[in-house]
Structure 1
Amino acid sequence: MSSYKSFAVIGAGAIGLPIAGALAVAKDVSVVLLSRPGSSAKTVPSSVKVVQVDYNDAAAVAAVFKEHKVDVVLSTITTAASAAQKSLVDAAKLAAVKLFVPSEYGLPTEGYNDGPMGEKNQIAAYLKSSGIPSTRIFVGLFTEYIPWLVDYSNGGKIKVVGNSEAPLSFTSVPDIAGFVAYVLTNLPSSELEDRILRLEGDRSSFNGIATQFKTSIEHVDSITGEAGEIKTSLQRKMNVGAGSTGWDAVKNAEGTGSNAAGSANALWPGHQWKSIKEVHNL
């Protein structure tokens, strides 16, 4: 049984709000949601306390953690701001937080040194050097974001940069939020501290996605339009196998055992993970 009773969720975005909501329905726990000063008001369960604070002010953030006797910090800030997590780690250390769940929720980042994925891996190293136990959670791509990634709304085809056969991991937002809440409120700390948890709600290739969406593949040199650079970069990483949550960037191969894609699914026994077809009503 978990010993964690108080949680602080950092960020009220696409994954932060669902995680805060999933934690809020757990028994005998408290949840505080931290957002940046001036951010728009969010609709949250009445039991969730919302506090606006400058993430870069470690002392101010630590004061919030101490006030709410926070056991676990869950960072969900965006990839573009992932470097800002260092001040959150400093705040967690000042407040003697028991566990830190850094902002991963994407492709595996272990073994990377450069770019946004390298920054996330560096945060994991910083947590270790700070003496704070951590849990990293790799989910692949949010299943809901498939149309966004392949520019589906622009022509109704699956636009692919390079390899359309590489295996890809997808996990839906409700499944991610539910899993996070379940393991943090049910598992003992020994099963969570300094662990990497690899989820996979469904597995497919771009070819398989095209089949499910009843459309065709369009091979392109890059994805254009809004966030085109980000989509292109993601697809290029996926081309080599990094789209699987079991990917080992050091060995350039799929992991096995506890390092395999979806190996952490078993930590939520009896749960039925949402498929691509279910999420998109195909």
Structure 2
Amino acid sequence: MSTMKNFVIAGVGRIGEYVAEEFLKLKASGSVSSLTVLTRSTASDNAVLEKVVKLGAQVTTVDYNAHDSLVSALTGVDAVVSALGGYGHKAQYQLADAAKAAGVKLFLPSEWGLYSRGVTDGFYAAHDAVHKHLEKIELPYALFYNGMWSDMMFNPYAGWNIPQGKITIWGEGNTPITWTTRRDAARFVAHLLTHIPVDQLAGKAFSVEGDRKTLNELVEGYTARTGKRLEVTHLPIAEQEKIMKEESQFAFKGIMAYLLVCYDRGAVDLRTTSPEGVANGLWPEWNPKPAVDVLVEAYP
């Protein structure tokens, strides 16, 4: 059983809100002593922050460039979970330095997607650089991966326009992809950090898989469940490869192209890309939601 009781979450954007809520459920049951959310804005300016405060979180407004203030906010904390995304990802260096100075036992950098350990090119090279910094300052850390967020990625930008009955797939669509809802990923992280001793977490990578389906299987599954026919168009993956070369890897179009190419190449199949394998067995009762269920609930 983990001895960690006091946690900090940095950011409550696309995934941080769910992580905060899951830790707060454990706080309500007595498994967690405290949860602090670090933010650049005040609670009164953010509906999500207002919600987590009502659930029992403490919110601390921070300036990631103010080292001493950040150290103060992390003093007495057992583990820091980073949910910083986009340009905020760079703030993890300051966050890690402060965590080291404050004596934090474990740091989870912001991953929540494809396996990035050792990846030194493309979008995920920035993740590897953070890992190297954590090693340099000798701050214990663990990595957590969950593939694609099934409750977020079935949208027109990724080729899924279900309201119009049209699906675009770049490539053949037969490559397995790991899908996990944000809620299920958050539940697993909260369970992991409160049930596994820190010495069994530090230095390790944990990949989880809510479901594993190809794009074609998802189309077939959705049609079987709803009776709705979807018009599927297959386009050459070379179209997305071209966008990758032309767009910044940090621009939205560049990121989407990168992910769509990863779909086709098998880079989002955590069973094959994670040398450690999937960690679902660490919590047999996890019961994550299948990706087709997510689709049917969103578009009944």
TM-score tier, shorter chain, comes to: 0.7 to 0.9
Matched, 1:153 2:157: no
Q: 1:233 aligns with which of 255, 258, 269?
A: 258
Cα pair distance change 1:267/1:166, threshold 3 Å = same
Give the counterpart letter for 2:127 in structure 1: K
d(CA) in 2 for partners of 1:136, 1:157: 36
User: 1:38 Cα shift?
Assistant: 5.7
Q: 1:244 aligns with which of 245, 257, 269?
A: 269
d(CA) in 2 for partners of 1:100, 1:234: 26
Identity among equivalent pairs (%): 29
d(CA) in 2 for partners of 1:114, 1:58: 30
Count of aligned pairs between the two proteins: 269
d(CA) in 1 for partners of 2:177, 2:231: 18
Structure exhibiting the larger radius of gyration computed from Cα positions = 2
Q: Which has the higher helix share?
A: 2
Give the counterpart letter for 2:66 in structure 1: D
d(CA) in 2 for partners of 1:54, 1:247: 39
Q: Which residue of 1 aligns with 2:13?
A: 13
Matched, 1:58 2:67: yes
Q: 2:285 aligns with which of 249, 267, 270?
A: 270
Q: Which residue of 2 aligns with 1:251?
A: none
Cα pair distance change 1:106/1:143, threshold 3 Å = same
Matched, 1:23 2:23: yes
| Contact residue 37 and residue 54 of structure 1 kept, 8 A | no
d(CA) in 2 for partners of 1:230, 1:210: 23
Matched, 1:200 2:239: no
| Contact residue 154 and residue 295 of structure 2 kept, 8 A | no
| Contact residue 202 and residue 276 of structure 1 kept, 8 A | yes
User: 1:218 Cα shift?
Assistant: 1.8
Mapping 1:90-105, distance limit 5 Å: 90-105=97-112
Q: Structure 1 unaligned runs (5+)?
A: 249-253
C-alpha RMSD over aligned residues:
2.2
User: 1:273 Cα shift?
Assistant: 1.5
| Contact residue 123 and residue 255 of structure 2 kept, 8 A | no
User: 1:58 Cα shift?
Assistant: 2.7
Q: Structure 2 unaligned runs (5+)?
A: 224-229, 244-250
Q: Which residue of 2 aligns with 1:182?
A: 191
Give the counterpart letter for 2:281 in structure 1: A
SS, match of residue 197 in structure 1: strand
SS, match of residue 187 in structure 2: helix
Compute the TM-score of the two structures, normalised by the length of structure 1: 0.88
Give the counterpart letter for 1:122 in structure 2: A
Cα pair distance change 1:212/1:245, threshold 3 Å = same
User: 1:213 Cα shift?
Assistant: 2.8
Moved more, 148-157 or 180-189: 148-157
User: 1:269 Cα shift?
Assistant: 2.3
